[in-house]
């Protein structure tokens, strides 16, 4: 019995040592573990590079991979919004530092990779509470998590605020790198490259979801039969196949999705004032007077 206790406490000591050494190894020059003070009004898309407890650090927050991805997402969004509500288009309002870099936070999660990867499209619903436990739950923000680990089904997924009651938090979109199998971001979708490839397209698609796109009031909104979860694949898509908000799940031609509501009738710069419009979102700049927040389903 005595020996057992000693062995057990030795094991606890060793695992504490391991955890401490991982935490120390995560400390790297230029890396931040907090959301830096905001230079805007706090309503922004905050980016997190998150690793599972047992995940290896590829330094995507430090080696410009995430910054490049964000740049490509925003460049496409800006191009598609030119000569619409604003002559020069709009930008996604990512959380930035005073010198205009993306404020990327590094987060070591308290869950292991198998806990996340087996969830497939639902993995974001495990990641969101995990970042929340670390304090990333600012009600003004939405979170875009680049998760450095596996996912057995998808390259990216997100939560859909329009499909849950306001009491449930649905503020997170996630990209799984490297992912795995059919949904692999790297094997099938290009991964981190200085181009608007499918990885970039998936990431932008999911960020638009968490901003409230496609609202249920959109005339071409596509709703699947099995409603009830808060994830991609259930709602929030368009029936228009070359739009970036066409369903990723059932779509073999997603690579051809090249429009952002180009008819201005579903989610960008449309005329239905009581329906969410990304051109008037709090999370884009320039921002209109009286901007909108993502709409939740019901009380």
Applying CB under 5 A, among 61, 119, 232, 243 the residue interacting with Zn ion is 232
Q: How far is the CB of 245 from Zn ion (least distance, A)?
A: 7
Whichever of 121 and 130 has its CB closer to Zn ion, that residue is 121
Residue nearest to Zn ion (CB): 232
**Structure letter (DSSP) for residue 197:** -
Question: Which run of H or of E encompasses 172?
Answer: strand 172-178
Given a contact cutoff of 8 angstroms between Cβ atoms, the answer to whether 201 and 155 are in contact is no
Q: Of the ranges 81-89, 166-174, 224-232, 252-260, which one interacts with Zn ion (CB under 5 A)? A: 224-232
241-280 binders of Zn ion (CB under 5 A): 248
Tell me if 222 sits within 8 A of 237, measured CB to CB.
yes
- Choose between 173 and 275: whose C-beta lies nearer to Zn ion: 173
Burial class (CB in 10 A: 0-12, 13-18, 19+), 144: buried
Instruction: Choose between 106 and 254: whose C-beta lies nearer to Zn ion.
Output: 254
Instruction: Say what angle helices 198-210 and 65-81 make with each other, to 10 degrees.
Output: 70
Tell me how many residues contact Zn ion (CB under 5 A).
2
User: Closest separation between CB of residue 68 and Zn ion, Å?
Assistant: 23
Q: How far is the CB of 98 from Zn ion (least distance, A)?
A: 34
* Beta carbon of residue 20, minimum distance to Zn ion (angstroms, whole number): 40
- Of the pair 102, 248, the CB lying nearest Zn ion is at 248
Neighbours of 80 (CB within 10 A): 18
Question: Hey, CA dihedral for 129, 133, 139, 144, is it positive or negative?
Answer: negative
* CB of 7 vs Zn ion, minimal distance in Å: 50
Q: Which is nearer to Zn ion, 55 or 294 (CB)?
A: 294
User: Which residue, 232 or 243, has its beta carbon nearer to Zn ion?
Assistant: 232
Q: Which stretch binds Zn ion (CB under 5 A): 80-88, 136-144, 227-235, 273-281?
A: 227-235
- From residue 138 to residue 177, the character string flagging contacts with Zn ion as x (rule: CB under 5 A) and all else as - is ----------------------------------------
Least separation in angstroms between CB 133 and Zn ion: 26
Q: Phi/psi of residue 40, each to 5°? A: -115, -160
Q: Compare residues 115 and 171 and give the one whose CB is closer to Zn ion.
A: 171
Across 225-257, b (16+ Cβ under 10 Å) vs e yields eeeebbbbbbbbbbbbeebbbbbbbeeeebeeb
CB atoms within 10 A of CB 54: 13
Q: Give the span between the Cα atoms of 17 and 37, in whole angstroms.
A: 32
Q: How far is the CB of 254 from Zn ion (least distance, A)?
A: 10
Distance of alpha carbon 170 from alpha carbon 206, whole angstroms: 12
User: Taking contact as CB under 5 A, which single stretch among the options 55-63, 108-116, 230-238, 284-292 is the one that binds Zn ion?
Assistant: 230-238
Stretch that binds Zn ion, among 27-35, 68-76, 141-149, 226-234 (CB under 5 A): 226-234
Considering only CA atoms, which of 167, 170, 164, 156 is closest in space to residue 123? Answer: 156
- Return the number of the residue (104 or 248) whose C-beta is nearest Zn ion: 248
* Least distance between Zn ion and beta carbon 246 (Å): 8
Closest Cα to residue 172, out of 214, 97, 243, 232? 232
Contact residues: Zn ion, CB under 5 A: 232, 248
């Amino acid at each position: 019995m005595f020996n057992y206790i000693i062995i057990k406490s030795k094991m606890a000591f060793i695992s504490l040592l391991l955890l401490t050494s991982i935490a120390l190894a995560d400390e790297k020059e230029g890396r931040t573990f907090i959301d830096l003070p905001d230079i805007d009004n706090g309503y922004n898309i905050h980016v997190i590079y998150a690793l599972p407890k047992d995940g290896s650090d590829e330094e995507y927050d430090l080696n410009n991979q995430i910054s490049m991805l964000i740049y490509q997402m925003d460049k496409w969004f800006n191009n598609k919004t030119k000569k619409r509500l604003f002559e020069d288009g709009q930008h996604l309002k990512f959380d930035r530092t005073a010198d205009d870099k993306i404020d990327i936070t590094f987060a070591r999660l308290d869950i292991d990779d198998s806990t996340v990867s087996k969830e497939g499209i639902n993995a974001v619903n495990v990641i969101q509470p995990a970042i929340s436990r670390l304090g990333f739950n600012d009600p003004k923000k939405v979170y875009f998590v680049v998760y450095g680990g596996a996912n057995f089904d998808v390259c990216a997924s997100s939560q859909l605020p329009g499909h849950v009651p306001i009491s449930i938090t649905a503020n997170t979109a996630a990209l799984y790198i490297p992912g795995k199998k059919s949904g692999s971001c790297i094997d099938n979708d290009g991964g981190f490259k200085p181009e608007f490839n499918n990885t970039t397209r998936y990431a932008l698609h999911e960020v638009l979801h968490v901003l409230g796109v496609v609202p249920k009031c959109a005339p071409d909104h596509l709703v699947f039969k099995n409603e009830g979860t808060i994830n991609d694949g259930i709602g929030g898509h368009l029936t228009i196949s070359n739009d970036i908000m066409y369903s990723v799940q059932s779509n073999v031609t997603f690579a051809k999705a090249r429009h952002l509501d180009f008819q201005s009738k579903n989610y960008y710069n449309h005329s239905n004032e009581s329906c969410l419009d990304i051109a008037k979102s709090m999370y884009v700049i320039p921002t209109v007077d009286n901007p909108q927040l993502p709409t939740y389903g019901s009380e």
